[in-house]
Amino acid sequence: STDQPRPHVVLLASPGAGHLIPLAELARRLVEHHGLTATLVTFTDLTSSPEAQSGVPASVATASLPSVQLHDLAPDTPMETVLFELVRRSLPHLRTLLSSAAHLAALVPDFFCSAALPLAAELGVPSYVFIPSNLTALAIMRRIVELHDGVPPGEHHDLPDPLELPGGVSLRRADLPCSFRSSKEPVYAHLIEEGRRYRHADGVLVNTFYEMEPAAVEKFRQAAGEGAFPPVFPVGPFVRSGAAEAGDSACLEWLDRQPTGSVVYVSFGSGGSLSVEQTAELAAGLEASGYRFLWVVRMPSMDGQEDEGEHGRGNPLAWLPEGFLERTRDKGLAVAAWAPQVRVLSHPATAAFVSHCGWNSTLESVSCGVPMVSWPLYAEQRMNAVVLEGSVGMALPVGPRARDGDGDVVVVSRGEIADALRELMEGPVKGRAVRRQAGDMQQAAAHAWAPEGSSRRALEEVAVAWKAWRGWRGEAVTD
Ligand code: UDP
């Protein structure tokens, strides 16, 4: 009957749409496919952010933790450090919330919230970390921890350069997620601490699927078998449904009027932006390529990361080169700030995606079978690009990275942009292989979540373990 209690999972999302979206999708599947109830806990009030809220399915309950003071942190404190502090200071509030949660069967903090794991231990509840990123990120995290086993506290070592990972993934220093590049960065110590806590989790859920990173899956399987790391469950890809996307249908109406497979979609995620100079070069490159395009233009910045100060306000379209919009009126559409991306990528007119390689964008592209031009800007985007260009093989690099992979921000020329687009859209060898692989990955992703698919079975295995754990019924647990 309906009043039969169900085991209840509490999921904890660190701030940022990129963290919330996949965790919300995980929660929805636990409720709709696996017979659990779920509460998604956030640090910020979702009701004040309609964009974020629209991503949370109705079947999932939400709760937000009371805000904590962070005023004492220096203004230049790195974003990751601010996040870790936010989580640490919120733990008492989380303890209160968890203590009053009925039928609690598991706690699932995302990768930045592992400070909550000891709380699960204290309450005697199973705990699973959720990695919204991929196994490559988890492998780096594991490596940095192993590198510091037996090393006195306060002593930090750099990761090797290049860092060789399973499946032939080789990351040069410049390709590592920013915070892993130097042991001298203050956030490095936090990462080690964060990664050490993962070892005490009962499992790790990762937003990837077998065919995306087969060698890494096998490596982690082996590690779990040897007791060297908790069991890892590839349970993705978690992509929100296009129907859940709010907003502007002007792009979709425009796409409806374009021929099938003709449009290049250009977007750098929720936080990526280009310099003024690079914006002009990209405009010229799109124009020179002659392809139809849909470009989500954001306010320019100097370092690739969105500027939230005075620069961050205003109309980004005003920064496009003089006359560009008029000249390309028949070929392209530039929209300010935001497009309903899942619907754009799944539209039959869309043929290619020029992307910053954020992991959500990547999985959306995979799910829609759209090949990519990889244009990473910051954070872990270069690492994702290396995986996509290399072992996955569904992206072509653009510009300086295609030449020498230099870590510096260099302007990508219009010629390089047009060349990469031409290769991706029509190239008979490299481009063709990438286009074909995008189609194959799309099928693999769909299969992973089909009834007998690998990701679905992996999540079912976890759900079965949670249901079988008698603690959620209030029964004594002896282990
Ligand atoms: N997104 C969108 N419209 C935009 C830009 C981004 O819907 O114009 C969505 C995109 O579909 C993805 C998320 O925002 O789900 C961005 O996440 P990702 O991990 O790709 O990059 P981040 O924004 O975290 O850098």
- Specify the pLDDT at position 46: 72
Active site residue 110: yes
**With 60 as the cut, is the pLDDT of residue 50 above it?**
no
0.90 exceeded by the pTM? yes
Pick from 240, 255, 341 the residue to mutate for probing ligand 1's pocket: most ligand atoms within 8 Å of its CB: 341
CA geometry: angle 177, 183, 185, nearest 5 deg = 75
Out of 110, 175, 202, 419, which one is annotated catalytic?
A: 110
Q: Look up residue 149 and give its two tokens.
A: 């086993």
- Residue 19's nearest CA partner among 346, 337, 293, 360 is 360
CA geometry: angle 423, 428, 432, nearest 5 deg = 75
Report the number of secondary-structure helices (H) and strands (E) in the chain.
Answer: 17, 15
- Specify the pLDDT at position 240: 85
How buried is 447 (Cβ within 10 angstroms: 0-12 exposed, 13-18 middle, 19+ buried)? middle
On whether the CB atoms of residues 109 and 27 are closer than 8 A, the answer is: no
Q: At what angle do helices 17-34 and 359-368 cross, to 10 degrees?
A: 50
Pick from 270, 363, 374 the residue to mutate for probing ligand 1's pocket: most ligand atoms within 8 Å of its CB: 270
Write out pLDDT tens, residues 242-285. 877 766 689 999 999 999 999 999 999 988 889 999 999 999 99
Alpha-carbon span 437 to 443, nearest angstrom: 10
Alpha-carbon span 371 to 390, nearest angstrom: 13
**With 90 as the cut, is the pLDDT of residue 126 above it?**
yes
Mean pLDDT of the chain: 92
Write out pLDDT tens, residues 53-76. 567 889 999 999 999 999 999 999
Residues 220, 224, 229, 232: is their CA dihedral positive or negative?
positive
Strands 292-297 and 263-267: parallel
Alpha-carbon span 20 to 15, nearest angstrom: 7
ipTM of the complex: 0.99
More confident residue, 232 or 301: 232
More confident residue, 479 or 104: 104
**With 70 as the cut, is the pLDDT of residue 403 above it?**
no
Active site residue 148: no
Write out pLDDT tens, residues 414-444. 999 999 999 999 999 999 999 999 999 999 9
Task: Name the E strands within 48-93.
Answer: 61-64
- Residue 152's nearest CA partner among 179, 197, 189 is 189
Write out pLDDT tens, residues 284-317. 999 999 999 999 999 998 666 665 555 556 899 9
